[in-house]
Amino acid sequence: MKIICLNTWGGNAGKENLLSFFNKHKDNVDVFCLQEVGYHPKGYEEVKDKFGKDIKVKIWGLKEIPAQLSNYIPYFRPHYYEDYGILIMVKNNLKVLGEGEIFVHKDKNSVNHTNDEVGNHARNIQYVTLDVKNEPITIMNFHGLWNGKGKTDSDDRLLQSDKIVKFLKTLNTNIILCGDFNLLPDTESIKKIENFGLRNLIKEYDIKSTRTSFYKKTDKYADYCFVSNDIKVKDFKVLLDEVSDHAPLYIEIE
């Protein structure tokens, strides 16, 4: 099984650039775990958001990414209103045993209305459980809290990790947990997930950066992939495709 995890950056690296990436990989990838996916029928819009800031919103993703991946089933779970969130695309030849979400920061309808907390909205984990050769495996997609104060620990992030671990303890399957955690590797928030017993492939494979040249800041970590100890990883790497300010993560398991 092959999985790609990518924060799409809302298409800021270019619509055709991003869609061509999916076209390139659609025949050999089984599951895409995507973050920063939105939708509005008009596509691109210049809007004044609810914080009074004029922004250009990339709002075609939820329509055109599934259209590009027509042989996949989309599972969309918004965390900011109903049209912005995280998306798992599962190839339609795979058997889905179940899917859902849990909120790990605030609740589904929590939205801040201050300029200082634009990223501090509700955060969820979505999951799909697949039947892979008569064995269940749960793939989880996550976009962690952004608070505008770097990628270090905070009370909210520590609590967020505690809620993730609490949910992990309810699962009786092997686990793949991936996404943009907005955290540095040495944080206690990351260690809580490692201490639960999942392998951190970013550390295991000595990955030095999960960002592309679009990202100009110094901290080059944000994205992670954690797996159960029983999962046999055939390959894990950061892809070189520059389709976002985040680099795509590629994992292949037996």
Q: How confident is the model at residue 118 (pLDDT cuts 50, 70, 90)?
A: low
Q: Which CATH architecture has domain 2-253?
A: 4-Layer Sandwich (3.60)
CB 66 within 8 A of CB 74: yes
Q: In 3D, which of 237, 181, 247, 244 has the Cα closest to residue 210?
A: 247
149 vs 203, more confident: 203
Q: Distance between CA 51 and CA 146 in Å, rounded?
A: 16
Give 74-128 as a DSSP string. EEEEESSTTSEEEEEEEETTSEEEEEEEEEEES-TT----SGGGTT-S-EEEEEE
pTM over 0.75, yes/no: yes
Please tell me the predicted confidence (pLDDT) of residue 40. 59
Closest residue by Cα to residue 220 from 193, 191, 183, 189: 183
Per-residue pLDDT for 201 more than 50?
A: yes
Taking only the tens place, the pLDDT of each residue in 218-247 is 889 999 999 999 999 999 999 999 999 999
Q: What is the CA radius of gyration of the chain?
A: 17
- Token duo for residue 185: 């590797």
- Average pLDDT of 31-52? 67
pLDDT at 148: 84
Mean pLDDT over each residue of the chain, to the nearest integer:
89
All residues at 6 or more sequence positions from 195 whose CB lies less than 8 Å from its CB, including other chains: none
